[in-house]
Every structure is written in structure tokens, then in C-alpha cells.
Structure 1
Amino acid sequence: MGICISVASSEIHQAEDCQENIDSNGILRFGSLYSKQGSKGLNQDAAIFYQDYGMESGAFCGVFDGHGKNGHIVSNMVRNRLPTLLLNQKNVLANTKTTADDKNSQWKEACISAFKVMDKEIKLQENLDCSTSGSTGVVVVRQGEDLVIANLGDSRAILGTATENGIKAVQLTTDLKPGLPSEAERIRSCNGRIWDVLNNNQVASIVMEAESEQAAARAVVEAATASWKRKFPSSKVDDCTVVCLFLQNQKEQHHI
């Protein structure tokens, strides 16, 4: 049981499935979450910061960028359902595997399985046409000293580390963007475009310099929005959503 904050509704939930039992006293202890609607219409982003996920001091962080006519519905479905699917898959595997060496492979298998089940559940919705709608998904799970990363699409996870020479940013996921030849061809065939407004080091620096853990996500979103307007003044600003997970107290931090 943990505290779960969903950005689309700004509600704080305390339930295993993150969908009910609203608790207005929930507080994010080691991170922040912020989403800002762009100028294209309805905010199709959804995000989650689930505290005590799977274990005390565990966490589930996720950002889901919907696209297409029903993208907002898809991204919200994924946000509400994926945390439970993933943990259920992991628990099933933990009960069937026999050695401790299987922990990493269990999480990998659980992530792949949960994403596939989530995709099937969306397609089986009777009143939802998702033929031209969908969502990206980037997930970071903290379990003790371990981080589990999973992604599909071009939402990104970054690890920021404080060093003697400043902030070092390490990209933890691979964007399905034009840098990959097969993805570049797919995007071109669909007349698509890709927007990058802040690089990894800029994001890590903004987070590290934020007034507090709670202010970090909003600081990144506001900086990204301002950068978009400068770089692409004739284009409508996209929705922007950020989740920040601090692995240490900000005053003592080495990793974000």
C-alpha cells in the first residue's frame, strides 16, 4: 500500500490499483511531478508517482504521452493500470523462480509481459477506437538500491549525478526517434516531426538547482516550454510532463 499521485486529475490516491480512495494528506517524500497543457488542445499526457510501490521506500514513476484522437484516454488507462499489472507479473515470477540470481531477469520479463498485457487490454476496449491512437510509456521503478527502467516510444529517463566537475547526465532509455534508421523511415513515411527543446545536461542541471524536490519537476516543464517558444515560435507548444525521483535527499544528493 502506498501513496499514488496522478497528474491528470491532481488527485492523491492510497490504493494498490491507484484508482480510488482519495487521500488529501498524501505527500511526495522524495520527488515531484508536474504536467502542463500545451496549445494544441486537450492535455494528452498522463503521469504517476507511486510511493512505497512494492516495498517501503519503493517507487513507481511513469510518464505516458498520448497521441491520436483518443490518446488522452489511452495514456490515462496506462497510468491507472500498468503499475498493478507490472507488480502482479513480478510477484507471479518471484513465486515460480527458484534462485536469487533470477531477480533481474524477473523484472525484465515482468516489464515485457505487463506492456504486452496492457496493449491487449486497450485493444479489447469495446467503446474505444485506438486504431490511430496510442501512448508512449517510460517507467522507472525503485526497489531498494535497484532501479528498473522500461520504455516504449520517445519519452525519456535520465539519471543526473553530481560530480566535482558539475552535473553529469546519463540517458537511461533509447528514444524511438530518427536517430534509429528504422524509426526514421517510419516517421518520414508518416510525415512526422520530432521536437527536442532541452538536452539531458540542461534537464539535470535544472533539477539540481531547483529550490526543492517538490519544485524540480515544474522547473523543468517551465524551462522546456520557454525553450520551445524560442526555438519554434511559429509552432504550437506541445504538452509537457516531468516526474523527478530523488535517490538521495537534495541537500546530500549525488543522484536524481
Structure 2
Amino acid sequence: MKKMVHFSSLLSGFSPKNGKKRRINLGREATIALAKEARKNGLLLTSPGNVSAKWSDNYVSAYSKGGNKGINQDCFIVWEGFGGKEDVMFCGVFDGHGPWGHLVGKRVKKVMPAYLLHYWQEAMAQCSILMNGELFKNANFDQFGMWKKSFLKACSTVDYDLELHPVIDSLYSGTAALTIIREGDLIVLANVGDSRAVLGTTSDDGSLVAVQLSVDFKPNLPQEAERIHQSGGRVCQAEDEPGVSRIRASIDEEPEGPGLALSRAFGDFFVKDFGLISEPDVIQRTITARDRFVILATDGVWDVVSNEKAVEIVSAGKEESAKKLVEYAAAQWKRKRPGYAADDISVVCLFLHNP
């Protein structure tokens, strides 16, 4: 496989006066070229299937299914050998909402890898020493710190990209995004919204247990509600939606006015000044021999399936694990919520020790 394209060398011919936008655009062009190569080699997946590179410890199963609400607003991406580096994988699930939610989700899926890779290369260059044309890590190198900084910058830029988009209207539409990087034995998870990551790992007695890695960012969480109130927004529940908390723009808004059942999302600019943020919660975990797989799934799964049941289903076999979990969740919508429109469902199962 080709070695990584170093954006720092690509940028060497450009002066600072060209500005941040030109550097980012150049980085995106390089990422698009890498993505095309990865897709040609079967290492980039955006439709149901599996990814298993011969040289990798990873095995990924991914699947998506629309509900009964119209067009499927969920999507996902799996990219083995992310950015041309054989030991890095990027995965994500995106859950759009609102009239343009399917386009917002697809847009974020498209641009987020490019922005993330650009900022990661930038951070790596700042914390490395160039010797004989190659970059070497300096003594203060922080692997997780590099990814966290890159995720924070990338998510901010993604939201800015949506705000300025000439076609996609993100005023009352948006998307949740749950993304993961695996680099060697490190996994870095960045969560914007209410999709969820669950780890299947082995306990001391040898049994398989579920460990929730992410937080479902709903407006009624204490820390989220406090930020919303301090921003002038409010958290309300409508009479016809018991148990569903939504951000509303201001005290003057009528109860039937638009609200958002997430406290973090890309887009949804009608409440961005009232406590909604696109800042990701970024966490890390060092993979051990006990850790078997990570499930990334939109809330169409977690609204009707427990963490434990999801881990049980995925542990039964990796090849069609994502499809089996999606189909089980779809059946649970019919059984547990008759009369309700089933939600869109997307699942990515990342197996960590592929022989």
C-alpha cells in the first residue's frame, strides 16, 4: 500500500498569505485522492458490507436500513488505512434529522474525514522533528492529544462548512455524528449527539460484558441543560411527547414551535445561539486482549435494544453482525412500539483482534 501523503510537504510551496482556507482545500483534495484509492482497493465502505485488510487486526461489518419516516437519513463510513497509514482506521455513523437531514448527514460524512486528516497532519507536524526528509516524534508527543485537538478543530470546521453551504439548508436540519479512530492499540472516540458506542469485552470470569463508551447527549442531562439555560434557551417536554426533552430557542417561543431532542449536533442553526453545540466529547481507550469489538450505532438501535443484547447479537458471528443487529432492532420497533414510525438504523461493528 502507498505510504501516507504528507500534507506538510504539499503545503511547503505556499506562503502563509494564502490563508487557512486554501490550506484546508488543498488538504481536502489530497484526502479525496486517498479516498478514491482506498475505495478502489476495497478499504473504504459507505454501503452495507465488510472490510478486512490482510495486513490489519481490524474486521468491520456495517449495515444501514431506513425506517418508516421516509428517506433514510442515516449513513456511515468505514475507512481502513485512513490517510494512507496502514495502522489507522476511521469509522463513523451519522444520524440526520429535519427536512434536509439526509443531505446534512451525507455532507458531514464526506467532509469530516478530510478536515480531521488535515488537522491531524498539522498537529503531527507541530509536534515532530523533520530529519532527512522524514518526520520523527519529539519527546513531548501525545498520541491522544493530537487526535483530540484534531477532532475539536475538525468538528468546528464541519459546522462552519454547513453554515456556508450554498445549497443545503441547515437552519432546521442537522445530524448527530459518532466517529472513532483506531491507531495501533489506541481508540479515540468523538461523539456529537445521541448515537452510542458500546464495547464488548471479557470480564474476569470469562463472560462477555457490555461497556458503554459514549454519552447520549440529550437536553435534559444536567450539564447540558445548564449550558442551554445559560445560553438563553430552555428545555421543554411537549404533552404529546412524554419523556422527550427538547431545546427551544427562547421563552417567547410557542410550545408547538420547533425544538430539538439533542443537545449536540451539526447544523440546526436555529438553536445554535441557545445552547446547542457541535463540540465533540472526545475520549480514549487502550485496547487490551480482553476487548473484542466496538459497536457504533445510531439511536434507532438503542431506543429499543439494550447494550447487553446488542453485544450478545454481535458476538454470535462477525461476518453479518451489523445486519443481524439492524434487523433485530427493526423487529423490536414493531414489537415494542406498535403504531410508531420505526427510526432509521445504522450499525458499524469494529472487531479489534482479527486473526
TM range (shorter): 0.7 to 0.9
The equivalent of 1:28 in structure 2 is 51
1:127-147 C-alpha deviation (Å, 9 max, x unpaired): 221100010000011001110
3-state secondary structure, aligned to 2:142: helix
Larger-Rg structure: 2
Equivalent AA in structure 2 for residue 87 of structure 1: L
Superposed displacement of residue 224, structure 1:
0.9
Is residue 45 of structure 1 aligned with residue 51 of structure 2? no
Q: Are the structure 2 counterparts of residues 152 and 192 from structure 1 closer, same or farther at C-alpha, using a change threshold of 3 Å?
A: closer
Q: Determine the C-alpha separation between the residues in 1 that align with 2:35 and 2:170.
A: 22
2:167 to 120, 127, 132: 127
Q: Which residues of 2 match residues 10-89 of structure 1 at below 5 A?
A: 16-17=31-32, 20=36, 23=40, 28-29=51-52, 30-54=59-83, 55-89=85-119
Structure 2 unaligned segments of length 5 or more: list them: 3-29, 44-49, 53-58, 128-137, 226-233, 237-244, 249-258, 263-298
Identity %: 37
Q: Determine the C-alpha separation between the residues in 2 that align with 1:221 and 1:37.
A: 10
1:65-112 C-alpha deviation (Å, 9 max, x unpaired): 000111111100111111121111011011112544422211111001
3-state secondary structure, aligned to 2:168: coil
Q: Determine the C-alpha separation between the residues in 2 that align with 1:145 and 1:108.
A: 16
Q: Determine the C-alpha separation between the residues in 2 that align with 1:178 and 1:115.
A: 20
TM-score scaled by structure 2?
A: 0.61
Q: Determine the C-alpha separation between the residues in 1 that align with 2:196 and 2:98.
A: 20
3-state secondary structure, aligned to 1:122: helix
Q: Determine the C-alpha separation between the residues in 2 that align with 1:121 and 1:224.
A: 33
Q: Are the structure 2 counterparts of residues 131 and 105 from structure 1 closer, same or farther at C-alpha, using a change threshold of 3 Å?
A: same
The equivalent of 1:243 in structure 2 is 348
1:33-58 C-alpha deviation (Å, 9 max, x unpaired): 10001111000011001111142142
Is residue 225 of structure 1 aligned with residue 225 of structure 2? no
Asked whether the 8 Å contact 1:94–1:106 carries over to 2, the reply is: yes
The equivalent of 1:204 in structure 2 is 311
Asked whether the 8 Å contact 1:66–1:136 carries over to 2, the reply is: yes
Equivalent AA in structure 2 for residue 214 of structure 1: E
Structure 1 unaligned segments of length 5 or more: list them: 3-14
Asked whether the 8 Å contact 2:219–2:261 carries over to 1, the reply is: no
1:155-204 C-alpha deviation (Å, 9 max, x unpaired): 11111113335221111111112661345926345385987111111111
Is residue 180 of structure 1 aligned with residue 210 of structure 2? no
Superposed displacement of residue 150, structure 1:
0.2
The equivalent of 1:96 in structure 2 is 126
Q: Determine the C-alpha separation between the residues in 2 that align with 1:167 and 1:179.
A: 31
Q: Are the structure 2 counterparts of residues 56 and 20 from structure 1 closer, same or farther at C-alpha, using a change threshold of 3 Å?
A: closer
Q: Determine the C-alpha separation between the residues in 2 that align with 1:191 and 1:79.
A: 21
The equivalent of 1:12 in structure 2 is none
- Number of equivalent positions: 236
Q: CA RMSD in A?
A: 2.5
1:6-59 C-alpha deviation (Å, 9 max, x unpaired): xxxxxxxxx943764653855611111100011110000110011111421421
The equivalent of 2:287 in structure 1 is none
3-state secondary structure, aligned to 1:174: coil
TM-score scaled by structure 1?
A: 0.83
Asked whether the 8 Å contact 1:19–1:80 carries over to 2, the reply is: no
